Amino acid sequence: MEDEGHMPWSGMDFVTTTTSKMTFAQEFANAVSMVVPSLVVVYHYLFADPATCFWSIYTKAVGGSALLHLPFSFSYHMMCAFDYYEDRVNSMGRKLDQTFIHVASTMCAFGLSGDGLYTASMAILQTWYIIKLWMPGLHDNSFERRSNVFMSVILYTLPMLWRGDHANFVRAFMGSFMLGASAFAFNRYFNGWGHSTSHVVLGVFMHCLLASASTIPAASCPALS
């Protein structure tokens, strides 16, 4: 995701910050903290009890979404940290980062709904969002881009309510996601550390999504079918 600004790195500004510029340390933290959701996926992969059939096609779709998005987000923030871009908002790295947020959203829609038609509808919408990321015009502004991401999260978490998984929905959307989104939106009140804070909170969000996806009956798991 994009921030409000980026301050080129130098030895003097590693630990300094302003209300509107990102330092080397902050962009570096943005990159490293993006690993947290994937670490949650790896934890479940290593320690989930095989007898519970935790890893179905649905949990793999949700977990895979984090792993797929990680390299694009990590590399974008790391290149921002080292001042690679003249204009990091209007850069290929930012567009790739947000493109794969929308790809990941489609994967989560499948993993949390278990419904092919819903996933296809979501894929059409996300494709349109992606096209607009790469197409210049009046629509190409931070408000619309962030609104599209927010709408995507709403759409792929709603199936949790439809399936009656109210507890995980509240923990995921109303709890961890909204908390992280608030830290991101009010980054300046976190002295520039709101973005990395939101990434850390996404680890809790991913845990809740995986827990919800694991409750969908799958043909590969007789215990849930």
Residues 6+ apart with CB under 8 A from 60: 111
pTM: 0.88
Helix (H, G, I), strand (E, B) or coil at 35: coil
What is the token pair recorded at 9? 């790195």
What does the pLDDT read at residue 22?
86
pLDDT at 220: 59
Residue pair 61/96 in contact (Cβ under 8 Å)? The answer is: no
Asked if 43 and 210 touch (Cβ cutoff 8 Å), the reply is no
**Residue 12's pLDDT is what?**
33
pLDDT reported for residue 162: 95
What DSSP character marks residue 7?
A: P
At 223, the amino acid letter reads A
Comparing CA positions, the residue from 5, 4, 28, 22 lying closest to residue 146 is 4
Low-confidence ranges of the chain (pLDDT < 50): 4-20, 225
